[in-house]
């Protein structure tokens, strides 16, 4: 007997549907029992270095809280590299710059230093800017035996990590004394201090200023603290106001410094604030606005300084970038040229010979001042005092070491 055609077709459809359901269910059950294998992670590859080139690693804060410092420094480093290579390189070998962003974090600076040495085979390191980051990175560079040159870390302990750690900036004890001397020179006898005790840079500068100011016969009327990430400083400012200081020393980085000064003015605090090189950023002017007028800070360089050496650099920098250099641009430029001078004098890039040549640096004509290193590989050089007025950093005076 022949099967009914509709029944046969219906049975076939059911069978096919059941098979498909079974297959899907099997896949789902297998998926529940065994998670899918993770996608393979690509291993980072070293940056290709041109044949015969000299690889130099730069680890700088190109993003994060100190981004403005890193962006200025890298422009100076790149200008120096361009000029060196245009002049034929170092003993006929071009410099190849390998740039890495620390994101303004010490932990990332440490990892980057290791990778630059292990993967990219750099012969020297330029970085970091913030002292707290260099204090973490310097021992790693010392352990790996590769010279490290900080453009802008001013904490005295940075170079104590090892004989291959250098800097082209002055140190905090000198910077604090410069601002103490400046305050005394304008007749100030009573000062207050507002600082961040958790930040090595801020704490060291507060101590240096206080010690020198007291030694000059001054009085510290108030000493208040702030913390990273804080946004309300009214309690500290009211406490300072009540003690009637003539100036307020504020050794913190530019975002916080500008915010503090901006909050102080509506409270009736009209006294000048004085600070340090951590203020020098266009963002200090943007955040602070009119409130930061009639403030003063120490720096390493001013585009308004009239020497021929400074003005020649300013002209080259303007031509390259279309704006005037800040201090960290000059320090980045000096760091790269300081390294190049050491490579020339050492006759190559062998780490021990290069380290010895750099340590023997004397009378090097830096843009931020003539550099002669002491036994701790710190330069003895002048500082600049800048006055903030009309939305600009204005050169005021040079203070000899």
User: Is residue 17 scored above 50 in pLDDT?
Assistant: no
347 within domain boundaries: yes
Spatial CB neighbours of 346, under 8 Å, sequence gap ≥ 6? 353, 354, 356, 357, 358
293-308: pLDDT as tens digits: 999 999 999 998 888 9
User: Is residue 348 scored above 60 in pLDDT?
Assistant: yes
Do 331 and 366 reside in the same domain of the chain? yes
23 within domain boundaries: no
Spatial CB neighbours of 18, under 8 Å, sequence gap ≥ 6? none
Band (46; pLDDT cuts 50, 70, 90): low
49 within domain boundaries: no
Mean pLDDT of 25-47: 44
Do 293 and 178 reside in the same domain of the chain? yes
Do 285 and 363 reside in the same domain of the chain? no
Choose the final residue of a domain: 253, 281, 299.
299
Band (247; pLDDT cuts 50, 70, 90): very high
Do 180 and 166 reside in the same domain of the chain? no
CA distance 128 to 106: 9
CA atoms within 13 A on the CB side of 196: 19
6 within domain boundaries: no
Choose the final residue of a domain: 274, 299, 324.
299
Choose the final residue of a domain: 250, 277, 299.
299
Do 165 and 177 reside in the same domain of the chain? no
Determine the pLDDT at residue 31: 40
351 within domain boundaries: yes
Do 164 and 181 reside in the same domain of the chain? no
CA atoms within 13 A on the CB side of 54: 25
User: Is residue 337 scored above 50 in pLDDT?
Assistant: yes
1 within domain boundaries: no
Do 244 and 357 reside in the same domain of the chain? no
User: Is residue 7 scored above 70 in pLDDT?
Assistant: no
Do 148 and 204 reside in the same domain of the chain? no
Determine the pLDDT at residue 50: 77
87 within domain boundaries: yes
Do 68 and 131 reside in the same domain of the chain? yes
Do 312 and 166 reside in the same domain of the chain? yes
Instruction: Considering only residues 11 and 283, tell me which one the structure prediction assigns the higher pLDDT.
Output: 283
User: Is residue 42 scored above 50 in pLDDT?
Assistant: no
393 within domain boundaries: no
Where does residue 396 rank: exposed (0-12), middle (13-18), buried (19+ CB within 10 A)?
middle
Q: Give the number of domains in the chain.
A: 2
**The dihedral formed by the CA atoms of 67, 110, 80 and 155, expressed in degrees to the nearest 10:** 70
| CATH code (residue 62) | 3.40.50.2300
Band (47; pLDDT cuts 50, 70, 90): low
Domain that holds residue 240: 173-299
Nearest-5° Cα angle at 155, 153 to 160 = 100
Specify the range with the lowest mean pLDDT, choosing from 39-48, 151-160, 162-171.
39-48
185-231: pLDDT as tens digits: 999 999 999 999 999 999 999 999 999 999 999 999 999 999 988 99
Determine the pLDDT at residue 45: 57
Radius of gyration of the chain (CA): 29
Q: Give 325-371 as a DSSP string.
A: --HHHHHHHHHHHHHHHHHHHHTS--HHHHHHHHHT--SEEETTEEE
Taking CA atoms, 320 is separated from 15, 82, 339, 392, in Å, by 76, 10, 22, 21
Do 187 and 117 reside in the same domain of the chain? no
Do 156 and 182 reside in the same domain of the chain? no
CA distance 278 to 257: 9
């Amino acid at each position: 007997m022949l099967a009914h055609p509709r029944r046969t077709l219906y049975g076939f459809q059911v069978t096919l549907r059941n098979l498909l359901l079974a297959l899907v269910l099997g896949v789902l059950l297998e998926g529940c029992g065994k998670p899918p294998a993770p996608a393979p992670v690509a291993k980072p590859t070293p940056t290709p270095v041109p044949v015969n080139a000299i690889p130099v690693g730069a680890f700088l804060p190109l993003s994060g809280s100190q981004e403005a410092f890193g962006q200025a420094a890298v422009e100076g480093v790149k200008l120096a590299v361009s000029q060196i290579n245009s002049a034929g390189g170092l003993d006929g070998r071009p410099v190849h710059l390998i740039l890495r962003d620390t994101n303004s974090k010490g932990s990332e600076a440490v990892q980057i230093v290791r990778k630059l040495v292990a993967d990219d085979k750099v012969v020297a390191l330029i970085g970091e800017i913030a002292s707290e980051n260099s204090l973490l990175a310097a021992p790693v560079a010392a352990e790996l035996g590769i010279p490290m040159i900080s453009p802008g870390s001013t904490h005295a302990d940075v170079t104590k990590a090892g004989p291959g750690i250098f800097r082209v900036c002055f140190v905090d004890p000198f910077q604090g004394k410069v601002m103490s001397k400046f305050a005394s020179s304008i007749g100030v006898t009573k000062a207050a201090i507002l600082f961040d005790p958790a930040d090595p840079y801020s704490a060291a500068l507060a101590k240096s200023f206080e010690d020198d100011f007291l030694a000059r016969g001054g009085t510290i009327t108030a000493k208040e603290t702030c913390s990273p990430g804080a946004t309300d400083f009214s309690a500290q400012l009211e406490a300072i106001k009540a003690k009637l200081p003539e100036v307020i020393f504020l050794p913190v980085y530019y975002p916080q410094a500008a915010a503090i000064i901006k909050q102080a003015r509506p409270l009736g605090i009209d006294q000048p604030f004085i600070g340090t090189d951590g203020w020098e950023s266009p963002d200090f002017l943007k955040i602070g606005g009119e409130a930061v007028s009639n403030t003063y800070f120490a720096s390493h360089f001013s585009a308004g300084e009239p020497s021929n050496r400074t003005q020649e650099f300013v002209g080259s920098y303007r031509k390259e970038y279309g704006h005037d250099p800040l201090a960290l641009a000059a320090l980045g430029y000096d760091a790269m040229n300081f390294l190049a001078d050491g490579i020339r004098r050492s006759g190559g890039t062998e780490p021990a010979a290069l380290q010895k040549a750099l340590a023997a640096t004397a009378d090097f004509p830096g843009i931020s001042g003539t550099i002669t290193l002491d036994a701790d590989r710190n330069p003895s050089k002048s500082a600049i005092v800048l006055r903030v007025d009309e939305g600009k950093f204005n050169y005021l005076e040079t203070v000899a070491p």
